[in-house]
Structure 1
Amino acid sequence: MEKPFPQILQAIADQKPTIGLILGSGLNSIADRINQALTIPYSDIPGFKVSTAPGHRGQLICGQLAGQSILAMQGRLHYYEGYDLTDVVYPIRLMHQLGIKTLIVSNAAGGINERFSVGDLMLITDHINFTGNNALIGPVAEGELRFPDMTYAYAPILQDKVRQAADRLKMPLQEGVYVATSGPSYETPAEIRAFRIWGGDAVGMSTIHEVTAANALQMQVIGISCIANMAAGILPDRLTEEDVLRAGKAVEEKFSNLIIETIKDLEG
């Protein structure tokens, strides 16, 4: 999308947001704490697909949070919904055009690391793409790197800010590697054992394509997972979407407090 923006997006551009926030399954409530909020349904935005996943409200919210101008996605687009990856990362490219320089991504994930517990928050330090695809395949989008370096896909300096925020809040914070699958089926116990051998600590069906696109646009990224369940085979229980949403609800306040405390320390 080229400037000037359509009228519905110009109101966001006028607020000059610099921090983007993607809220994963069950992690919507922080958006309720955004002041002077402008809310736009995805269905009203040219080129924007509609989120169909449970627990994803499907709207952009722009306003003030912790003294910063924020643009939040309440719900994301997933590859498993049948969308092309260009559709999945369209919001990231749009955020960049709207002035976002720092992207905070969140998700609900299954715990692979047996030292984790349901309800833990995990700072993502790296990821493994097991989806079998890459959002950058195809023509190079304007302003993007053809071969972005993913050594520091999650900015180390911003990881330190999250750690410091957790320390100030006296909040336990796990750290680890996020493994992404295409979904929508949950993983098998054998796959989880393989991911653990690879060095994976949590697994989910989102995030990494958004992070890859953000790195191609030279945006800085923070990633945080909510451990919503223990992955297949670790416990005898079957996995359900309801359990994931319930776990997200249970940690919403803790997650919101960590994000707000981190944002206070970010440069606008």
Structure 2
Amino acid sequence: MWVHEAIPRAEYEAAAAWIRERTAHRPRIGIVLGSGLAALAEAVSEADRMAFTEIPGFPAATVEGHPGQVVMGRLEGHPVMVLQGRAHFYEGYSIQRVTFPIRVMQLLGIRTLIVTNAAGGLNPAFRPGDLMLIRDHIGLLGMAGVNPLRGPNEAAWGPRFPDLSQVYDPTLRALARAAAEAEGVPVHEGVYVMLGGPSFETPAEVRFLRLIGADAVGMSTVPEVIVAGHAGMRVLGLSGISNVLNPEAFHPPRHEEVLEAGRILVPRMQAVLRGVLRRLGP
């Protein structure tokens, strides 16, 4: 049975205060790095690094490929807060604890969030190493009630019933398409579907996910985006396609594959992200 956790605002404020005391950076852009993509944080200059386990209230990242660090610094001239890895619902945390860092970002003044993940390709046109700009998502956990906004709503965080119809900002996607084209990076747009994990999909589940209109599948991102949308942040979502799932010639995915694909995806993802930041302006 999943657990709902009512986290008091004071706990978020304590984490934000702890971070402020340890860095002079005042970020306006947040970046979440998914499985195998942690190396992107090495591009951050003037970096202050803090382990998740040191920050009050932060969930520890326990999965290989998620170092579990906050990196505060500058990237393409912008002050940024980078999560080098993330916690997942399948690790046993409440969905509110999984999204705890996004609320802390909100308190720190972040207004633009870039979320990345490694995902399995459901669209047969995709190839391993491609990037997919997330146009929309299907949150199967949230549809079943495991939603980070469940419980009393605090108006200071956001509205009771947030509109997520344009949560993935079209202007940011256009900047990402331009950056990908300039760098020669293969890029698609599509719908990301989140499953609870940690088991990978069966062939029947892959057929079902294709049928409902999903282009890529993973075990993260959607709860973070729901909270960001509630907070009024602009969101850019990017999936790195680590493998392609074909239910008729099924090759069981492996976490090692995800990490191996990261070696191809990191330079591509970095080129697109830096291109977006350059085009974003001050």
- Aligned residue among 74, 93, 109 for 1:99: 109
Given that 1:15 and 1:63 are in contact with CA atoms closer than 8 Å, whether structure 2 keeps it comes out as yes
Given that 2:131 and 2:239 are in contact with CA atoms closer than 8 Å, whether structure 1 keeps it comes out as yes
> Partners of 1:206 and 1:3 in 2: how far apart?
25
The amino acid of 1:139's aligned partner reads P
> Partners of 2:269 and 2:133 in 1: how far apart?
11
The residue aligned with 1:108 is 118
Question: After the TM superposition, which of the residue ranges 250-259 and 198-207 deviates more from structure 2?
Answer: 250-259
Listed one character per residue, the Cα deviations across residues 22-68 of structure 1 (whole Å, up to 9, x for unaligned) are 00000011110100000000011011110111100001000011111
The residue aligned with 1:61 is 71
Listed one character per residue, the Cα deviations across residues 55-103 of structure 1 (whole Å, up to 9, x for unaligned) are 0000100001111111000001111111001101100000111111100
Give the % identical residues. 42
The amino acid of 1:197's aligned partner reads L
SS in structure 2 of the partner of residue 245 of structure 1: helix
Q: Does 1:9 align with 2:20?
A: yes
Given that 1:16 and 1:69 are in contact with CA atoms closer than 8 Å, whether structure 2 keeps it comes out as yes
Q: Does 1:78 align with 2:88?
A: yes
The amino acid of 1:192's aligned partner reads V
Q: Mind listing any 5+ residue stretches in structure 2 that lack a counterpart?
A: 1-11
1:188-227 superposed matches below 5 A: 188-227=202-241
Q: Does 1:140 align with 2:153?
A: yes
The amino acid of 2:81's aligned partner reads L
> Partners of 2:53 and 2:20 in 1: how far apart?
13
> Partners of 1:180 and 1:97 in 2: how far apart?
26
The amino acid of 1:138's aligned partner reads G
> Partners of 1:233 and 1:48 in 2: how far apart?
38
> Partners of 2:16 and 2:242 in 1: how far apart?
38
Aligned pair in 2 of structure 1 residues 41, 162: CA closer, same or farther (>3 Å)?
Answer: same
> Partners of 1:213 and 1:255 in 2: how far apart?
23
The residue aligned with 1:37 is 47
> Partners of 1:3 and 1:246 in 2: how far apart?
37
CA RMSD of aligned residues (A): 1.5
> Partners of 1:242 and 1:48 in 2: how far apart?
26
- Aligned residue among 33, 42, 65 for 1:23: 33
TM-score for the superposition, normalised by structure 1:
0.95
Given that 1:114 and 1:234 are in contact with CA atoms closer than 8 Å, whether structure 2 keeps it comes out as no
Q: Which runs of 4+ in 1 moved over 6 A?
A: none
Aligned pair in 2 of structure 1 residues 48, 4: CA closer, same or farther (>3 Å)?
Answer: closer
> Partners of 1:45 and 1:222 in 2: how far apart?
26
The Cα of 1:267 is off from its aligned counterpart by: 4.3
> Partners of 2:35 and 2:261 in 1: how far apart?
9
The amino acid of 2:172's aligned partner reads L
Aligned pair in 2 of structure 1 residues 220, 8: CA closer, same or farther (>3 Å)?
Answer: closer
Q: Mind listing any 5+ residue stretches in structure 1 that lack a counterpart?
A: none
> Partners of 1:5 and 1:93 in 2: how far apart?
9
The residue aligned with 1:149 is 163
Listed one character per residue, the Cα deviations across residues 194-229 of structure 1 (whole Å, up to 9, x for unaligned) are 111111000000000000000000000000000011
The amino acid of 1:187's aligned partner reads E
1:177-196 superposed matches below 5 A: 177-196=191-210
SS in structure 1 of the partner of residue 22 of structure 2: helix
